[in-house]
Copies of this chain bind each other. A is one copy, B any other.
Amino acid sequence: MTRKILVLPGDGIGPEITAEASRILAACQARGLDIEIEEGLVGGSAYDEHGEPLPAVTLDKAKAADAILLGAVGGPKWDKLEDLSKRPEKGLLGLRKNLGLFANLRPAITYPQLASASSLKPELVAGLDIMIVRELTGGIYFGQPRGIEVRDGQRVGFNTYVYSESEIERIGRVAFELAQKRGKRLCSVDKANVLEVTILWREVMERLAPEYPDVELSHMYVDNAAMQLVRAPKQFDVMVTGNMFGDILSDAAAMLTGSIGMLPSASLNESGQGMYEPCHGSAPDIAGKGIANPLATILSVAMMLRYSLAEPEFASRIEAAVGKVLDDGLRTADIASEGTRTVSTREMGDAVLAAF
């Protein structure tokens, strides 16, 4: 059966990096992977063309796809849009919500070839391999009521941080199952000493634990988790947390590795459909220069093959090709260091294709 892949380049460096990843997808196709590739607009570029960051035509294509590859959205061009609902970010949030992509898997891995790129001392990050599981369709990102209104003669802004038991249970199960396949340790991050919503979060995690007797569950307050990530990140195996805390902690963890340009992510729904994107953003400052690192996007294709298309062999081959290119000393500017060769986005794509 032909699987449908939708590629959404987005804004900034999005088109450059997804172009390289698409070439890898095409190479898989040439070697027998039965896929059909379509493209679509999302984010600022969709707003420019259709007046909406998530046009109906894109959403329809997304719903019909087995998997989506997203570049990145956003940029200063659209930052001043008064109407928040038109901002590029809303395209991304709309895709997550409409497709029910509640489980965001964000690995933070240190590549041995790049360990020295970290701002942390090398011994603290060598061999780092954390999986952060972030709830992606609930919490304060989507909670109602929300808005800005006048109360007692002055404006007041408000948002609602809300989770139901079933939402917590659903993401909890994803995290426990991942922990079972990995190091069997799960750390749930909350702020249960202050926030009622996270008291419920902790309770539900506790309730699930006996069903996964081989997994050791622990709890950590979010402020402590931020500290522990900086102090000794290797203490973690799988971490699970809500949308907002996950946004902050997964970015901090990604940066710890020193090579955020290398990190892919997956956002999955209950039927295994997924959206795959690099952890880094749209980097408007270097857009169009042909110097962006396409490897996180290429590795997102590998994640897609593994999680949504059940093609682990193709996935492993892509990952091996990326490893070989790093071994050969090729680097885009963001991960360059002494004794390596700095290459362009396209040259990096060429090299991965050659090694594939």
Give chain A's interface residues, CB within 8 Å of chain B. Answer: 74, 84, 87, 89, 93, 119-121, 124, 140-141, 143, 146-148, 151, 154-166, 191, 193-201, 222-224, 226-227, 229-232, 244-245, 247-249, 251-252, 254-256, 260
Contacts and interface: CB of A to CB of B under 8 A. Distances in A.
A199 B80 CA distance: 11
A138 to B, nearest CB: 10
Given A157-B162, A226-B251, 14 more contacts: A151-B164, A156-B164, A157-B195, A157-B201, A158-B196, A159-B160, A160-B160, A191-B244, A191-B247, A223-B248, A224-B251, A226-B226, A229-B252, A230-B256
Given A119-B120, A161-B160, A148 B196 contact: yes
Contacts of A222: 247-248
Nearest to A224: B251
B155 A143 contact: no
Given A164-B151, A227-B255, A230-B256, A197 B247 contact: no
Given A124-B119, A244-B191, A157 B226 contact: no
- A-B pairs with the 5 shortest C-beta distances? A157-B200, A157-B197, A227-B255, A226-B252, A223-B251
Contacts of A198: 157
A17 B255 CA distance: 35
Contact of A227 (B197, B231, B260): B260
Nearest to A167: B156
9 contacts: A84-B199, A119-B121, A119-B230, A140-B161, A148-B197, A154-B165, A157-B195, A159-B196, A226-B251
A60 B220 CA distance: 33
B158 A161 contact: yes
B159 A197 contact: yes
B158 A159 contact: no
A308 B225 CA distance: 32
Nearest to A225: B248
A260 B224 CA distance: 12
A194 B93 contact: yes
Contacts of A87: 193
Given A148-B200, A230-B255, A158 B141 contact: no
Contacts of A224: 251
A164 B160 contact: no
A158 B147 contact: no
Given A156-B163, A252-B226, A196 B147 contact: yes
A227 B281 CA distance: 12
A197 B244 CA distance: 14
Given A119-B232, A141-B194, A159 B156 contact: no
A347 to B, nearest CB: 25
Nearest to A257: B230
Nearest to A120: B119
A147, A157, A159, A248 interface centre (most CB from chain B within 10 Å): A157
A246 to B, nearest CB: 10
B199 A157 contact: yes
Given A157-B163, A157-B197, A254 B231 contact: no
Nearest to A244: B191
Contacts of A151: 164
A229 B84 CA distance: 27
